[in-house]
């Protein structure tokens, strides 16, 4: 099977919606952006040994490659529509490709996004997805819209994915029979991130700022503050505690995972206090818990995020994930 | 310098046109597709040792990464507008990055395309560019539009880039003083592909089919025929002969490079015979020679490209470039 047959066989044949005027197989795809909408575009690349452990299975890799991109679209409050795939693989392994394509197609169907182009090259495993979406004119979410007095919210339970990764990387950890269910849950939270697309859409009309949490809650909140030119006060006792994290890790380790673990792909957003009830409604409507974890305050010192526990300031030193640190 | 500073420093600060509503630095870019236009999107990835020799300089790598994508947009007859960059590098080397960014920015400025997003990750060198462009409604070029009786044209002089690569890979080849100018020319043709964007725009109103030649003229013509469900007759004596190729390689080798060498990034297109004068006009208007090299004929056997030399059929066995062959 050569490169061209390979692309056609696994990635070329899916049915296209009416908004795909020309799909996989030509030099480029041609896509229809309807009037009243703006185009939203992002790229995220995952590499073996950095974003997922060596010898991860193909289905999990495909899921992650697309999910992290869907998460970027979610953070903008946009509707995911199309994506391109650049797949760099060391050799053609049909069973690997089949598993990869099945998982990719499954997640794509779940979010109604269409693969419209791709490139398959030979080399060390590296998967780059570029995603395109649509958002209503002048109504996208950004990192830079937070205002003093805004409440800071996070969706889901940050730290669970990082806990799952610890369990994957340290099979020597002793897990009791009773803890197995929590261990499996955490590992699945790492392997199968759930992009918060529906939540992003619901938040779009009223949130002031939004981003996805991928490099650790604390570090990402600092980035949001830097972009918004403000500071924030984080109330550690308000952080959503995961029962599964608590079952396996002690309190300090759980909190560290919550604050500094990566790979959450939850939404971190800020809203004016007058919009609290809208957050509650959005969270319940898409069945994703959202927790108020602090407040935005004016700050002369950019990125200044102060952590408090029961009104006492505490120092948290660890930064978010940085590939080149 | 961490990952975030790195992106900001080298790739984050360029001025954006009015069509970039939100640029580098948020979770995604927001872009304006004007009414009457469709979005054109493609991705191409280049990997060290496959698409460029080991130890290539950073400027040449950046040029190639963007140029091959611009070439895809050219093949559609579209206007390149925006791109995202996924840069996977083994370590942070500031002088490498500076050279990479300068070359990328130079080519981007030349074609008026804007970097709107990126991802920088650590790993084996791999550069993926996703390009977006615009094309007038219902007026893009495809591979699949060739009709029986169409004349087949190619721009430029295919084989020159492949000749340049041979010279790069075989420094032991004896090049005489008089051949130096040709050698340098061919190497530059490999290192700095010139995307035929202007030509693509000029061909758009009247060409029936178009693609870019990246994997070898003969193999790519087969792909065009397969997509158009037709065959073609290629007249070898009509192939545009490069003086520089002829100065360094013998006739057989030159012809093999012309037919089967990769990395040309020229346009291969078909037009109805009534449009010959329009081709001449387009070629002269953008100063890119276009040569008629054959004809499209009806064929029951797909991809059937027959080669003739002075009306005698000849067999050419070598296929185009295939990463996994």
Q: What is the 3-state secondary structure (H, E, C) of B121-186?
A: EECCCEEEEEEEEEEECCCCCCCCCCCCCCEEEEECCCCHHHHHHHHHHCCCCCCCHHHHHHHHHH
A273 touches chain B (CB under 8 A): no
Residues in chain B with CB shorter than 8 Å from the CB of A65 are none
In this structure, what is the dihedral angle of CA atoms A257, A260, A264, A267, given to the nearest 10 degrees?
130
What parts of chain B have a pLDDT lower than 70? 1-5, 7-8, 12-15, 300-303, 318-325
Interatomic CA distance for residues B48 and A49, integer angstroms: 19
Quote the CA–CA distance of A234 and B60 in Å, as a whole number.
Answer: 47
With an 8 Å Cβ cutoff, are A28 and B40 in contact?
Answer: yes
> What does the pLDDT read at residue A302?
62
Ranges of beta strands (E only) in A139-230 are: 151-155, 209-213
Chain A contacts of B28, Cβ < 8 Å?
A: 40-42, 72-73, 75-76, 78, 131, 133
Alpha-carbon gap: A122 to the closest alpha carbon of chain B (Å): 6
Q: Identify the pLDDT of residue B5.
A: 67
Q: What's residue A285's pLDDT?
A: 98
Residue B91: count other Cβ atoms within 10 Å of its Cβ.
Answer: 7
Whole-number pLDDT of residue B302: 62
Q: For the segment A204-250, what is each residue's pLDDT rounded down to a tens digit?
A: 999 999 999 999 999 999 999 999 999 999 999 999 999 999 999 99
Length of chain A: 325
CB contact under 8 A, B121 and A6: no
pLDDT score, position B141: 98
Strands A114-122 and B20-22: unpaired
Residues of B in contact with A51 (CB under 8 A): 121
Put simply, the chain A residues between 123 and 142 with a CB less than 8 A from any chain B CB are: 123-124, 126, 128, 130-133, 135, 140, 142
pLDDT of residue B119: 87
Taking contacts as CB-CB distances below 8 angstroms, the residues of chain A near B84 are 41-43, 130
- Are A43 and B211 an interchain contact pair (Cβ–Cβ within 8 Å)? no
B123 with A126: Cβ contact below 8 A? yes
Q: Is A34 on the interface with B (CB under 8 A)?
A: no
A227 touches chain B (CB under 8 A): yes
CB contact under 8 A, A41 and B117: yes
pLDDT reported for residue A119: 87
Contact A2 B85 (CB under 8 A): no
Question: How far apart are alpha carbons B131 and A38 in whole angstroms?
Answer: 17
Mapped onto helix, strand or coil, the DSSP state of residue B190 is helix
Residue A54: the pLDDT is 87
Mean pLDDT by 10 residues, chain A (325 residues): 66 76 91 97 92 92 98 98 94 91 94 92 93 95 96 98 94 89 97 97 98 95 94 96 95 93 96 98 98 89 83 77 54
Q: What is the pLDDT of residue B8?
A: 67
- CB contact B1 to A (< 8 Å): yes
pLDDT of residue B138: 86
Q: How near does any CA of chain B get to the CA of A94, in Å?
A: 13
Q: At A14, is the secondary structure helix, strand, or coil?
A: coil
CB–CB of B84 and A130 under 8 A?
yes
For residue B271, what is the enclosing H or E element? strand B266-271
What's the pLDDT score for residue B253?
92
Size of interface A-B (CB pairs under 8 A): 226
CB contacts of B115 in chain A (<8 Å) are none
Distances B54 to A28, A125, B189, B325 between C-alpha atoms, Å:
28, 18, 18, 20
Alpha-carbon distance A251 to nearest alpha carbon in chain B (angstroms)? 30
The total number of residues shown for chain B amounts to 325
Q: Record the tokens describing residue B224, joined without a space.
A: 């065009």
Residue with token string 């984050």: B12
Measured in angstroms, the CA of B309 and the nearest CA of chain A are apart by 29
Minimal Cα–Cα distance from B253 to chain A, Å?
25
d(CA B256, CA B95): 39
Residues on chain B touching A28 (C-beta within 8 angstroms) = 40-42, 72-73, 75-76, 78, 131, 133
Are the beta carbons of A118 and B43 separated by less than 8 Å? yes
Interface subset of B 71-110, CB within 8 angstroms of A: 72-73, 75-76, 78, 82, 84-86, 88, 91-92
So what's the pLDDT on residue A4? 58
Interval B96-128: pLDDT, tens: 999 999 999 999 999 999 999 988 888 999 999
d(CA B36, CA B137): 6
Chain A residues near residue B73 by CB distance under 8 angstroms = 28
Q: Point out which residues pair with A86 in neighbouring strands.
A: A119, A128
Q: Is B154 exposed, middle or buried (0-12, 13-18, 19+ CB in 10 A)?
A: buried
pLDDT at A304: 85
The residues pairing with A127 across neighbouring beta strands, listed in sequence order, are A46, A87
**What's residue A300's pLDDT?**
64
Contacts of A75 in chain B (CB under 8 A): 27-28
Cβ neighbours of A54 in B, within 8 Å: none
At residue B196, the pLDDT reads 98
């Amino acid at each position: 099977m050569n490169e061209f047959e390979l692309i056609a066989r696994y990635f070329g044949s899916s049915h296209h919606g009416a908004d795909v005027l020309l799909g996989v197989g030509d030099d480029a795809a041609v896509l229809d952006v309807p009037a009243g909408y703006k185009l939203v575009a992002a790229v995220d690349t995952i590499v073996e040994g950095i974003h997922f452990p060596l010898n991860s299975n193909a289905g999990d890799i495909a899921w992650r490659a697309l999910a992290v991109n869907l998460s970027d679209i979610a953070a903008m409050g946009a509707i995911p529509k199309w994506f391109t795939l650049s797949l760099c693989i060391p050799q053609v392994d049909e069973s690997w490709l089949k598993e990869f394509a099945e998982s990719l197609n499954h997640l794509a169907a779940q979010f109604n996004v269409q693969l419209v182009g791709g490139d398959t090259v030979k080399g060390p495993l590296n998967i780059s997805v570029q995603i395109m979406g649509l958002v209503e004119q002048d109504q996208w979410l950004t990192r830079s819209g937070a205002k003093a007095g805004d409440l800071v919210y996070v969706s889901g339970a940050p730290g669970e994915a990082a806990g799952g990764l610890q369990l994957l990387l340290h099979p020597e950890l002793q897990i009791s029979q009773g803890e197995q269910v929590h261990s499996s849950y955490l590992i699945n939270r790492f392997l199968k991130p759930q992009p918060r697309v529906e939540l992003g859409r619901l938040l779009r009309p009223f949130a002031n700022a939004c981003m996805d949490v991928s490099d650790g809650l604390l570090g990402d909140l600092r980035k949001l503050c830097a972009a918004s030119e403000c500071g924030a006060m984080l109330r550690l006792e308000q952080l959503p505690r995961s029962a599964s994290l608590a079952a396996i890790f002690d309190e300090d380790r759980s909190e560290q995972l919550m604050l500094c673990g990566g790979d959450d792909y939850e939404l971190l957003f800020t809203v004016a206090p007058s919009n609290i009830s809208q957050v509650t409604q959005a969270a319940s409507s898409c069945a994703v818990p959202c927790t108020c974890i602090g407040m935005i305050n004016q700050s002369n010192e950019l990125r200044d995020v102060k952590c408090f526990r029961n009104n006492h300031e505490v120092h948290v030193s660890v930064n978010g994930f940085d590939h080149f640190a």
